[in-house]
């Protein structure tokens, strides 16, 4: 057989005659109620406004359920319940008893893993492979991890006495709904605080499922209250006078509003905000593994990741090869039904987010960057975006500076180490970064000079409950995870 080659026209064909049949996970393995009330003081309470809003499946735009819209009065009720539980029960409970509840919650998340994964993919659009293999197990691991710390705080902070802050108001984003709830709730209650948590308005269902788990676990009423709503509900939490601590993950814009709102109050705060992570490939890198890492760094969860490696810096001598490999790899990514076990890239979380991404695609083209997208077909209904990359990008392009929060990679080139460090740090953000090189000394040099909360070397997007996570600059402050994640929920006395 002759190879069909003409100069420069070599192309591998990934649209093969042997293709995968649909392999959808079964929706019937998950129970979603028609309507959800607010989880306050251990029970389901109707919103005073009597208003509910829809939550839809972004994969096909069908309504999944409707959830209560919590107003100021509901927030107040939740905070009062949390305060009562804090003063009367949780603060006084021996730490090792608190730990048992948290451990039980972790176990129950594992037991209901399949159902949680299905709901997460239905409500948020992420591929079932990710919710099953990453979101849900990592969420359970956070509860396990912090259950272990609850009665060992004296070892976390030697020679210091710790005391909880009181009531924590926690506001989480739509990109990792259950996992972010776990990141927030686990350390808060392990350290003796009580919680009012608000999931994002487009992805409330797994948090509400978690509320059912909390109820079933016999966690004392009011220790964790989960209320749903949009920005106004979040604002009511932030502004409530009886809250001691705000933990927020979300956009930098909202983070700034929160900062302003709590100025002059006694509230503590941690903010985990946006990012525009630099992923740097040196010419001596293991190229195929680097390309795979870049692909996972930007297309994981449709690019809805605050630490996504959205700026790729490639050393010029290997740029052509890397770009060719990225394009080939993009072709083998499967875009489609989030519930299909073979889907690599699911649905964009909302119509609004899809529009934002499209806006940046046209900005990129206008800026003169060269756009390449996968040739895959997209489903007729639902919010989908092909994995896309831009080459010929300049540092001054908006697509290289601003957070797109979608499956869009900007590829830039560099010549020297100093140049790439300067360019990588040249961003208002500083959440994460990646370095790809075979040379150990270069890794240490880079990590030392990089202004980012997390720097991954020869890997990307690796998370573990024992490892702290958080940002520099406009990516926020405070750390979540690990021993560091305990401190924002404690006062250290004497």
- Where does this chain bind other proteins (CB under 8 A)? 1-3, 5, 10, 12-23, 129, 133, 284-290, 292-293, 324, 328, 332, 341-342, 438, 458-459
What DSSP string describes 254-319? HHHHHHHHHTTSS-EEEEE-----EEEE-TTS-HHHHHHHHHHHHHGGGG--TT---EEEEEHHHH
C-beta of 97 vs 133, nearer to other proteins: 133
Q: What's the closest the beta carbon of residue 340 comes to other proteins, in angstroms? A: 8
C-beta of 129 vs 423, nearer to other proteins: 129
The whole-angstrom separation of Cα 301 and Cα 233 is 26
306 is catalytic: yes
Buried b (16+ CB within 10 A) or exposed e, 434-461: bbbbeeeebbeebeeebbbbbbbbbebb
307 is catalytic: no
Phi and psi based region of residue 448 (left: phi greater than 0; alpha: psi -120 to 50; beta: remaining): alpha
Q: Which of 25, 120, 130, 272 is catalytic?
A: 272
| 224, containing H or E segment | strand 224-226
Q: Which residues contact 288 (CB under 8 A, 6 or more apart)?
A: 325
Tokens of 310: 């959205």
Q: What's the closest the beta carbon of residue 198 comes to other proteins, in angstroms? A: 33
Task: Count the neighbouring beta carbons within 10 Å of the beta carbon of residue 426.
Answer: 13
C-beta of 292 vs 402, nearer to other proteins: 292
SS3 412: strand
Note whether 109 and 139 are within 8 A (CB). yes
| Helix, strand, coil percentages for the chain (3-state, nearest 5) | 40, 20, 40
* For helices 113-124 and 95-111, angle between their N-to-C axes, nearest 10 degrees: 70
CA 214, chain centre distance (Å): 22
C-beta of 358 vs 462, nearer to other proteins: 462
C-beta of 191 vs 343, nearer to other proteins: 343
| 179, containing H or E segment | helix 177-190
SS3 67: strand
Q: What's the closest the beta carbon of residue 106 comes to other proteins, in angstroms? A: 24
Q: What's the closest the beta carbon of residue 319 comes to other proteins, in angstroms? A: 15
Residue 371 pairs in a beta bridge with 390
C-beta of 110 vs 342, nearer to other proteins: 342
Note whether 71 and 57 are within 8 A (CB). no
Note whether 387 and 299 are within 8 A (CB). yes
The whole-angstrom separation of Cα 477 and Cα 253 is 14
The whole-angstrom separation of Cα 91 and Cα 328 is 56
Tokens of 157: 């902070």
Q: What's the closest the beta carbon of residue 36 comes to other proteins, in angstroms? A: 31
C-beta of 1 vs 493, nearer to other proteins: 1
Q: Which of 130, 201, 306, 385 is catalytic?
A: 306
Q: What's the closest the beta carbon of residue 13 comes to other proteins, in angstroms? A: 4
The whole-angstrom separation of Cα 199 and Cα 205 is 9
Note whether 389 and 279 are within 8 A (CB). no
Q: What's the closest the beta carbon of residue 61 comes to other proteins, in angstroms? A: 25
Q: What's the closest the beta carbon of residue 20 comes to other proteins, in angstroms? A: 5
Q: Which residues are tagged catalytic? A: 272, 306
């Amino acid at each position: 057989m002759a190879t069909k080659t003409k100069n420069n026209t070599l192309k591998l064909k990934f649209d093969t005659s042997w293709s995968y049949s649909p392999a959808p996970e079964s929706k019937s393995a998950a129970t979603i109620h028609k309507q959800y009330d607010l989880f306050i003081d251990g029970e389901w309470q109707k919103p005073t406004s009597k208003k509910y809003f829809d939550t839809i499946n972004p994969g096909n735009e069908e309504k999944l359920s409707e959830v209560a819209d919590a107003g100021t009065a509901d927030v107040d009720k939740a905070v009062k319940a949390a305060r009562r539980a804090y003063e009367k029960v949780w603060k006084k409970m021996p730490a090792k008893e608190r730990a048992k509840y948290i451990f039980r919650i972790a176990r129950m998340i594992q037991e209901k893993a399949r159902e949680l994964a299905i709901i997460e993919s239905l409500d948020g659009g992420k591929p079932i492979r990710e919710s099953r293999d990453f979101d849900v197990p990592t969420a359970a691991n956070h509860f396990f991890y912090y259950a272990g710390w609850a009665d060992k705080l004296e070892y976390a902070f030697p020679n210091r006495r710790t005391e909880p802050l009181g009531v924590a108001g926690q506001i989480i984003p739509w990109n990792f709904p259950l996992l972010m709830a776990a990141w927030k709730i686990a350390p808060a209650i392990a350290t003796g605080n009580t919680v009012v948590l608000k999931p994002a308005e487009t992805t409330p269902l797994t948090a509400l499922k978690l509320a059912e788990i909390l109820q079933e676990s016999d966690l004392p009423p009011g220790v964790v209250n989960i209320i749903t709503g949009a920005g106004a509900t979040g604002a009511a939490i932030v502004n409530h006078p009886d809250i001691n601590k705000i933990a927020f993950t979300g956009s930098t814009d909202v983070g700034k509003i929160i900062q302003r709102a709590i100025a002059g109050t006694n509230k503590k705060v941690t903010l985990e905000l946006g990012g525009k992570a630099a992923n740097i490939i040196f010419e001596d890198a293991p190229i195929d593994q680097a390309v795979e890492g870049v692909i996972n760094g930007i297309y994981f969860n449709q690019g809805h990741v605050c630490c996504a490696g959205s700026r790729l810096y490639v050393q010029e001598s290997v740029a052509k090869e890397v770009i060719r490999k990225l394009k080939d790899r993009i072709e083998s990514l499967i875009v489609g039904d989030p519930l299909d076990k073979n889907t690599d890239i699911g649905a964009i979380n909302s119509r609004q987010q899809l529009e934002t991404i499209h806006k940046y695609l046209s900005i990129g083209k206008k800026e003169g960057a060269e756009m390449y997208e996968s040739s895959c077909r997209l489903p007729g209904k639902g919010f989908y975006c092909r994995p896309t990359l831009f080459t010929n990008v300049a540092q001054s392009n908006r697509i290289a500076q601003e957070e797109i929060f979608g499956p869009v990679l900007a590829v830039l080139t560099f010549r020297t180490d100093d140049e790439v460090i300067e360019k990588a740090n040249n961003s208002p953000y500083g959440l994460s970064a990646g370095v790809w090189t075979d040379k150990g000394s270069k890794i240490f040099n880079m990590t030392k000079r990089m202004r980012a909360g997390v720097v991954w070397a020869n890997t990307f997007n690796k998370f573990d409950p024992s490892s702290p996570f958080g940002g520099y600059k406009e990516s926020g402050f405070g750390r979540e995870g690990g021993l560091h994640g305990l401190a924002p929920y404690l006062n250290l006395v004497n």
